[in-house]
Amino acid sequence: MTAPVLVLSKIWVRLGPETVLKDVSLVIEPGTVVVVWGRSGVGKTTLARVAALLERPSRGRVVLRGLDATSLGVDERARLRLRYIGYVDQYYTLAENLTAYENIELPLRLLGVGREERRRRVLEVAEGLGVRELLPRLPRGLSGGQRQRVALARALAKNPALLVLDEPFSSLDEETKLDAIRAIRGLAEKGAAILITTTDTSDLVFGDKCYRLRRGGLEHAECMATPS
């Protein structure tokens, strides 16, 4: 049996007086796309940040590739995130002083990937997501959808073991959304685990496993269904 890439075990997150996540458990195996749907404000971004080691749960365990990361320090978690995790937040944050090419290339530089291999990976993901002609531009010269695709390209170029995407299709039209899905599926076929959080019920069709986040807890959902 193949070991899971990510295990969230009995996760609780409290922010001040509010309990955002309540006893959430989730297992994502290699090659699996998991979609978590929920209305705005139910804790999807918090779930994504916990999975990406950006936020520490109030209670529970986060296990990445067999390593319990729950109690690790900030620097250790950052090293794990750089090595194993690709993350795109719902604002598709980019380094504003770097071109699209440099944004996509940056994690590869930090990982010590050689120049020719960096160039190959950047051009490959840029071509697949239809942003190759945008590579010389700074983020201020990009539309919202273009920024979103560049942010996704940056995450994909690392070939991460875990890809965490928070509202990854919100600014994409149908054609570019399909390009993004093909790229994400391509990474899953290489053995990566994928977690997508979304407010769009139509995104459930892209999942191998689907859940609804409601009242802080996860419920199983049909990947073809449209929850009420």
Over residues 75-94, the pLDDT tens digits come to 999 999 999 999 999 999 99
CB atoms within 10 A of CB 1: 4
Q: Is the pLDDT of residue 4 over 60?
A: yes
Q: Is the pLDDT of residue 172 over 70?
A: yes
Q: How far apart are CA 190 and CA 30, in angstroms?
A: 9
Q: Is the pLDDT of residue 227 over 60?
A: no
Q: Residue 98: exposed, middle, or buried by beta-carbon count in 10 A (0-12, 13-18, 19+)? A: middle
Residue 62's pLDDT is: 98
Look at residue 114 and give its three-state secondary structure.
coil
Give residue-wise pLDDT tens across range 106-126. Answer: 999 999 999 999 999 999 999
Residue 1's pLDDT is: 60
Look at residue 34 and give its three-state secondary structure.
strand
* Residue (of 207, 178, 47) closest to 222 by Cα position: 207
Q: What is the pTM of this model?
A: 0.95
Q: Residue 130: exposed, middle, or buried by beta-carbon count in 10 A (0-12, 13-18, 19+)? A: middle
Q: What is the mean pLDDT of residues 187-194?
A: 97
CB atoms within 10 A of CB 3: 10
List, in order, residues 6 or more apart from 73 with CB less than 8 Å away.
none
Residue 224's pLDDT is: 81
- In order of their start, the domains of the chain are 32-221 (3.40.50.300)
Q: How far apart are CA 81 and CA 158, in angstroms?
A: 11
Q: What is the mean pLDDT of residues 183-204?
A: 96
Residue 66's pLDDT is: 95
The whole-chain average pLDDT of the chain stands at: 95
Residue 160 half-sphere exposure toward CB, CA atoms < 13 A:
31
Confidence band of 2 (pLDDT split at 50, 70, 90): confident
Distances (CA, A) of 1 to 29, 30, 188, 195: 10, 11, 17, 21
Residue 106's pLDDT is: 98
Q: What is the mean pLDDT of residues 184-194?
A: 97
Q: How far apart are CA 119 and CA 13, in angstroms?
A: 40
